[in-house]
Amino acid sequence: MAEQAHYRDRVRPEWIDYNGHLSEPYYVLVFGDATTALMDLTGLGADYRAATGASLYTAEAHVRYRREVGLGAELDVTTSVLSVGARKVRLCHEMRVDGDIVATEELLCIHVARSRASPFPDDVAERLRQYLSPVPDYAGRAIA
């Protein structure tokens, strides 16, 4: 089995909506922090960005909200890489509370340098490939 990156957080009071549950934008915030954690693990972190001016840009995202999440819930996000191309990477985040999947996010990210899509450095691409996992059955679906 390939490695998975992990990111953990806790639902804060300011993240709760008028229905008493985690508000939609905060799922995406937590998934964004999980992407940043993967970037740090694979050599795309702050030092890389400062040295090269390059980073990952999200080109497309698909979020599935599966279960309501309440105040104080411990969020555990696992991140897998579904594919690595010359200039793009497809990611999958699964957010769990008490082991149950409460939301997923699939991302298509582009490696950008000097405002253009740019190839990953070989060492970064190789580190991303360490997180390659089988594509889950829900990935790649359109909204129906």
Classified as helix, coil or strand, 67 is coil
pLDDT band per the 50, 70, 90 thresholds, residue 1? low
Contact 109, 125 (CB under 8 A): no
pTM, rounded to two decimals: 0.94
Q: Cα–Cα distance between 67 and 130 in angstroms, integer?
A: 30
What CATH topology corresponds to 5-129?
A: Thiol Ester Dehydrase; Chain A (3.10.129)
Radius of gyration, alpha carbons of the chain: 16
Mean pLDDT of 34-43: 97
Is the confidence at residue 60, as pLDDT, over 80?
Answer: yes
